Chain A
Amino acid sequence: MTATATTSLQAPRRKRRLSAGWALLWLNVLSTFVFLYAPIVVMSIFSFNASRQMQVWMGFTLDWYARMVHDERVRVAAENSLVIALVSTLVSTVIGTLTAMALERTRFRVKRLYEGAMYLPIIVPEIVMAIALLVFFNLSFSWLDRLFGLQLNFGLGTITIAHIAFSFPFVAVVVRARLADFDRTLEQAAQDLGANDWQTFRYVTLPLLMPGIIAGALLAFTLSIDDFVITFFNAGVGSTTLPLEIYGRVRRGITPDVNALSTVMLLASIVLVLGSLAFQRRRAT
């Protein structure tokens, strides 16, 4: 009897508290959709709009996608973006992995300092990094010119170096997380079975780190493909990337071809990020 009395007393109160919580939760979900996803959805939808105007829907078409595929400038920009992304990903993955190993496995005098300095690109505003790199390249070029007569200019090279500089710390962070819970007796077991240092790394450490390394690489690739600010400041003639190309077009008015290009980039980024997350979660098999 008493038991039923208490439950019947408590039940409505819990329900009311729950419903208040639910309301807030729904508000949160709703605003997320409105402010975050609605613009993206609208953009994607209008990439199929048969009108040049953004304001009115004139029917479905794939024209803008077809045009994009045949657009010479888009093709060049896409090529540039891919080359930069591939090269910078490759290099930053190697450097990032080695950095993670060094930070996790060795003790050296300025380790703390190095650690802080390395994570700087993750924290500082991108615009600061962009200007800093711009100044750095300018100075280097003038010195190289003065000392060796080397005539260097902004272009794919500078963008690639800039991308490596800001993306390898991200790789290092991801790989380091994987290294932190690495069972070192596995490496000792390999040594015990006759593997030298290189063989131990090649057959035991590297395969077990691979999911982390791939996740880091995918992250670096995404960062590079998407980057605007740093690329903008360190680009030169003929080194337009996709984000720069989109920016250039938007300045002349938002058109469905920009929407189409952005939609494609969005899809590519989503796939890459999901891939990266999947690899980060993957346990050693």
Chain B
Amino acid sequence: MGGFAPLDRPIDVELIDVTKVFDSGVVAVDRVTLQIQQGEFFSLLGPSGCGKTTTLRMIAGFEHPTAGEVRIEGRPMGHTPPFRRNVNTVFQNYALFPHMTVFENVAFGLRMKRVPRDEISRRVREALQLVRLSGFEERYPRQLSGGQQQRVALARALVNRPRVLLLDEPLGALDLKLRKEMQLELKHLQMTVGITFIYVTHDQEEALTMSDRIAVMNAGRVLQVGTPIEIYERPTSRFVADFIGETNFLSGRVDDVERDTATVLVAGNRPVRVRIDEPLSVGSEVTVAVRPEKVQIVPLEAPGADGLLRGRVEEVIYIGTDTFYVVRIDETTTVRVRSQNDRNRLDGGQLLPIGTAVALSWAPDAARVLLD
């Protein structure tokens, strides 16, 4: 999944240079600027404590920025309280009202807005149907499983038809299998109702699976915003490359630049060619990043074996569909290679034994140059 969001849709939520400093002096969110389009599934992804929840709470109105501005549908929010914002939140612990039935929980928002009684019951039923919980109206939250509670929380938010739905790690409390199911269900639901989702997670796989676009955060800053493909294939920083998927980092020095290709000397002066987006000056210190699955590995004795790097297989890890090789280039450098096993053979094709001398290579645009 993860389609591209067309760029001409109206902006639903906009953060302009938003900073949040808590009383304790902690800078939870640091000059964050984001534009989230209507109908988009937008994820905030980052490690624990990077400021995701705080960002979400500023959009919901539970916290106010120390500096900068939050705009919803183009209107600056200032100190607008949560109940006057056209957004709803699905809380990390669901926060269902324990003294109310499922029906009353879902009806709460409509009751507060004094929607007529028969319309309330119709819309609540629709919402429960949407999350496949029809028939659970009279139960209390404590009589529901975690997954069911999660869906009540979703229905309770969606029934208000908010402009934007904020979700703070809504699947965090579920076990892996239910989590995978709910991921697809949530994505499907989002496409059905067409509401903008802002989704907080620290699970990179979850973000890649569900999102139209992802903002990767670290230490209060947004490091990169892009589609899952952009984030995965063209990370702009070492943090992003490392946090999302697995990456080999080779530090080196730029030796030659010719148009859009640079030659970088890595691992004891071995030249590797890398496609570049921005001009680089010869002699600068850089990091070459290359994903394990982009590296081709061939035994040196194979006919016509050629490669950018040479080394010896130090470890072989068979994981079913693929095999990981750890290849030692020199004393300080190893490269991880992920090589697909031969689908047509029961022994998975021929695994290279430990100690094999190998050549490693990759296409010039399979590697990235990172400046930090």
Contact = CB atoms under 8 A, between A and B. Distances in A.
Contact of B60 (A192, A195, A196, A284): A192
B99 A183 contact: no
B314 to A, nearest CB: 50
A189 B89 contact: yes
A193 B156 CA distance: 8
Contact of A186 (B60, B88, B89, B97): B97
B178 interface: no
Contacts of B91: 185, 188-189
A284 B141 CA distance: 11
A208 B108 contact: no
Contacts of B140: 285
Contact of A204 (B60, B62, B97, B109): B97
Contact of B93 (A185, A190, A203, A207): A185
Given A192-B88, A195-B112, A185 B95 contact: yes
B226 interface: no
Q: Chain A's interface: helix, strand, loop or mixed, by majority?
A: helix
Interface in B22-63: 60, 62
A189 B92 CA distance: 11
Contacts of A186: 95, 97-98
A193 B112 contact: yes
Contacts of B62: 188, 191-192
Contacts of A204: 97
B98 A194 contact: no
Contacts of A199: 112
Nearest to B87: A192
Interface residues of B, number: 23
Contact of B99 (A188, A192, A194, A284): A284
B89 A192 contact: yes
Contacts of B98: 186, 208, 284-285
Given A185-B95, A186-B97, A188-B95, A193 B108 contact: yes
- Which of A185, A194, A203 has the most C-beta atoms of chain B within 10 angstroms of its own C-beta? A194
A194 B109 contact: yes
Interface string A184-224: 01101111111110010001100110000000000000000
Contacts of A189: 89, 91, 95-97
A194 B83 contact: yes
Interface in B63-85: 81-83
Interface residues of A, number: 19
B113 interface: yes
Given A284-B98, A285-B98, A285-B140, A194 B113 contact: yes
A180 to B, nearest CB: 17
Contacts of B112: 190, 193-196, 199
Nearest to A285: B99
A192 B82 contact: yes
Contacts of B109: 193-194
Nearest to A183: B95
Contacts of A284: 98-99
Nearest to A203: B108
Interface in A156-199: 183, 185-186, 188-196, 199
B323 to A, nearest CB: 46
A143 B121 CA distance: 61
A204 B97 CA distance: 7
B218 interface: no
A193 B86 CA distance: 9
- Which of A188, A189, A208 has the most C-beta atoms of chain B within 10 angstroms of its own C-beta? A189
A82 to B, nearest CB: 31
B160 interface: yes
B82 A207 contact: no
Given A188-B82, A203-B108, A193 B95 contact: no
A208 B112 CA distance: 18
Nearest to A186: B95
B81 A191 contact: yes
Contacts of A192: 60, 62, 82-83, 87-89, 157
A183 B83 CA distance: 19
A203 B108 CA distance: 9
B188 to A, nearest CB: 24
A166 to B, nearest CB: 32
A191 B108 CA distance: 11
Contacts of B83: 191-196
Contact of A194 (B93, B95, B97, B160): B160
Interface in B160-209: 160
B88 A193 contact: yes
Contacts of B99: 207-208, 284-285
A204 B96 CA distance: 11
A190 B108 contact: yes
Contacts of A285: 98-99, 140
B27 to A, nearest CB: 23
A160 B113 CA distance: 42
Contact of B82 (A183, A191, A203, A208): A191
15 contacts: A185-B91, A185-B95, A186-B97, A186-B98, A189-B95, A189-B96, A190-B97, A191-B82, A192-B89, A193-B88, A194-B113, A194-B160, A195-B112, A196-B81, A196-B83
Interface of B: 60, 62, 81-83, 87-89, 91, 93, 95-99, 108-109, 112-113, 140, 156-157, 160
Interface of A: 183, 185-186, 188-196, 199, 203-204, 207-208, 284-285
The 7 closest A-B pairs by CB, nearest first: A193-B109, A189-B95, A194-B112, A185-B95, A191-B82, A195-B112, A192-B89
